[in-house]
A and B are shown apart, each in its own frame.
Chain A
Amino acid sequence: MSADATPVRKPSAVWAFALVPIALLGVLIAYLVITGGGLRELSGPPVEQVKVTRVTLPSEGLVRLQVVNDGPQSVTISQVLVDDAFWAFTASPSTNVPRFGRVTIDVPYPWVEGDAHHLQLLSSIGTVFKAEIPVAQRTPQPNRDLFWQFGLVGLYVGLIPIALGMLWYPWMRHLNANAINFILSLTVGLLIFLAIGTWLDALEFAAELPAFWQGVPAVALVALLSFGVLLALGTRRNGEEPSPLGVSTRIAVGIGLHNLGEGLAIGAAFALGEAALGTFLILGFTLHNITEGVGIAAPLVKKNPGWRAFVLLALIAGGPAIFGTWLGGFAFNPVLATVFLAVGVGAIAQVVWEVGGMVVRASRHAGLPNATWLNLAGVTAGVVIMYVTAFLVKF
């Protein structure tokens, strides 16, 4: 098509073309709003849906619920029941919750430490929405001591085991090419395990979100997008092999996001009064995470980047566990948790791709097929190690 064929118009006229569909859409929407699409007679009874997103026990004798309306219309919370008893409450800003609206409900209820409590919200048309306090315990308030203690837990779980794993690095440097390939394959194996685990965790968080967040598709899309962005970043120098430090950094980022999730889990366990579970998790994750140090160090065996780089890598991979513990313990936000974990899935998948590429190239250099029995054994070993150590953190 030639340029002459296009009539010349003023820019304002061109904009008018863009606005016409929008104006017509406005007319259509107005028609639908006024007439209900002509199906108004078919409109059934109201559909009420709210989600209790968080229950906290901020002080003795007080239960606080955060409620989000994720249904198609506004909902009025007329009464509140605690343990099958009607109970006095205050709602802020109002008992009427519009679509997408949020309300905080305070119930002055003498909850009992260590007991379970059941909450019900009764709407104006008698719909019941339920929530549960599995083990009543005062919700941790951010104070300096607890902040420090939670931080220490994150340190034990994230940073220290990864640093310990990295201490195999001097030994790894003395291995021959085959053994290094085996360890890189092992890294791929453990990353595959982490990717699957993080994916499942993200989906579980997503399932708890108010419906309008569309948690499951959001997880898939965020993971895919993260994967794409990291892939673009990792391959921008055409033809060149990715730098070993770059690969290690990306592995550390992926593992870091995964460890953020572990921190969240530990913090939330303590916040929910599941102290014993929290303890198991601390022990389990610590053991589980030592292999992560191996994975991060593996791409670096041919070129030592210096101890400062190792410290930085350990911080990137392990530090988020500390942050996660704080977040989980003091200000748990399921939306943020879901997003972080989804990014983690994408990040881990990208390094699987990248490290996998390294293994394949190394095999080709040695004149071997892409997938050797040794590589396969390495991947299997990685998965098995993670699988077995994960016994400690699965309940």
Chain B
Amino acid sequence: MSWWQRLLNRRDLLKVGAGASAALVGAAALAQRTPNATRTADGHPIDHGGHGGNRMIGTVDHTKNGFDPLQLLTDWDYGKVSRLPNGQTLREYTFIAQEKDIEIAPGVTFPAWTYNGRVPGPTIRCTEGDRLRVRLINQSRHPHTIHFHGVHPWEMDGVPGAGAGEIPPGGSTVYEFDAEPFGCHLYHCHATSLKRHIHKGMYGAFIIDPEQGRPPAREFVMMQNAFDTNFDGGNEVYAVNTIGFEYARRPIPVQKGELVRLYLINILEFDLINSFHLHGNMFDYYDHGTTLTPTSRIVDTTMQAQGQRGIVEFRYKYTGQFMFHPHISEFTELGWMGMFNVVEPKDFPRALQDVGLNDTWNERALNGFAAKQKGSAT
């Protein structure tokens, strides 16, 4: 009987002599397979709960977190805008490195390291050729940096041993460089240990618009991220913009026929790749967003390795609630799943209202590029 614990791992024994056992205990009578009532069809959750039984219980307190994933989609940060003597646009930002407990799934807190108390950090939005001046103030208990993807001098690379290197607790520095090239980029902390500084939440989107802009569209930023809540080197909760299943609970309103543009960034830690799959539609994909013509056309799934990003463009032909998620089923079921609520234009105000959004959100979604042209500071 010393096999008690091993009993738990010994399912291979089933292959031997199962027939004889059935006769002994009438095992056949014990279980008959019947269709299960709790499993509903994929794709159209009436209660916005998402994915049948595959969901989280409860809701996240966004007010306490200080950020709401629906607002994160469109909150472009243009910085404090002014003009340099040479006519160049100067954008100034202040990033404060802070430790903050955030609720990443209903009832589950994560001891995050953040830029400005939020995960992901502010979405920097600028135009190619702008001068960027980003002050980093470290108010946390660990050294941090900001490492920007893109083209810049070595001293501004935000890695240990280059320029100011790691900024110690209480310290600060200024990163200054020209924004180039245009594209959908990324910034993150590059202090060591690198994995921890990234998966703890120190990253954000860095969007450089091309001079001539892109065609008008409804624009959203989506950072594919995840959280290792027990620090075992594997993620427990997956999401875009931090909160698992949030866009399944509150689908993102879009209008039928309009162009939708996603700035999609993969900042996943511990898993090699992430992907994006759109239901009921095909999209054009611009790898890294550094081209004005798509790098792949009419696809419905794209793959991004760690740190990779791109721009996704599509229009919906039909109304309804369309799912989006990585075509990595595991991540989908662990929270990285959401919905677009595609409606007729006349139904749009109602769709906004349903998920607690207002016209400001709509304006920001539609005028990401135009607002920046006006040089408005947020």
Of all chain A residues, the one with the shortest Cβ separation from B58 is A78
Question: How extensive is the interface on chain A, given as a class?
Answer: 35 or more
Cβ < 8 Å to A, chain B residues 20-79: 20-22, 24-27, 29-31, 33-34, 36-39, 49, 53-58
* A window 232-269: CB within 8 A of B: 261-262, 265, 268-269
User: How far is A150 from B21 in the complex, measured between Cα atoms in Å?
Assistant: 12
- Chain B interface residue count, CB cutoff 8 Å, equals 57
Contacts of A214 in B (CB 8 A): none
B236 at the interface (CB under 8 A from A): yes
Q: Which of A86, A127, A201 contacts B335 (CB 8 A)?
A: A86
CB distance from A219 to the nearest CB of B (A): 14
| Pairwise interchain contact B229-A140, C-beta atoms closer than 8 A | no
Are B9 and A86 in contact (CB-based, < 8 A)? no
Chain A interface residues (CB < 8 Å from chain B): 60-61, 76, 78-81, 84-89, 95, 107-110, 113-114, 116, 122-128, 132, 134-135, 137-138, 140, 145-146, 149-150, 153, 197, 200-201, 204-205, 207-208, 261-262, 265, 268-270, 272-280, 282, 393-395
Partner of B54, one of A87, A124, A262, A275: A87
**Are B2 and A113 interface neighbours, CB within 8 A?**
no
Chain A at the B interface: SS class: mixed
List chain B residues, Cβ under 8 A from A140: 30
Distance A153 CA – B23 CA, assembled complex (angstroms):
12
Residues from chain A with a CB closer than 8 A to the CB of B2 are 197, 200-201, 204, 394
Instruction: Say whether B236 contacts A113, CB under 8 Å.
Output: no
Contact A85 B4, beta carbon cutoff 8 Å: no
How many angstroms from the CA of A162 to the CA of B53 in the assembled complex? 51
Q: Give the docked Cα–Cα distance between A393 and B29 (Å).
A: 26
Q: Which residue of B lies closest to A127 (CB)?
A: B230
Question: Cβ of A132 and Cβ of B10 under 8 Å apart?
Answer: no
A146 to B107, CA, bound (A): 42
- How many Å from the CB of A136 to the closest CB on chain B? 9
Given A61-B36, A78-B108, A88-B53, A201 and B4 contact (CB-CB distance below 8 Å) = yes
- CB within 8 Å of A: which residues of B? 1-11, 13-18, 20-22, 24-27, 29-31, 33-34, 36-39, 49, 53-58, 105-110, 227, 229-230, 232, 236, 244-245, 330, 333-335
The reply to whether B229 and A128 contact each other, CB–CB distance below 8 Å, is yes
A276-B21 in contact (CB<8A): yes
Q: Given contact pairs A153-B24, A276-B15, A276-B18, enumerate 6 new A-B contacts (beta carbons under 8 Å).
A: A128-B232, A134-B7, A134-B11, A268-B7, A270-B21, A272-B7
Can you list 27 A-B contacts (CB < 8 A)?
A61-B36, A61-B37, A61-B39, A78-B57, A78-B106, A79-B105, A84-B333, A89-B57, A107-B53, A110-B53, A124-B108, A126-B110, A126-B229, A126-B230, A127-B230, A134-B9, A135-B11, A137-B27, A140-B30, A200-B2, A204-B2, A262-B1, A268-B7, A277-B3, A279-B21, A280-B13, A394-B3
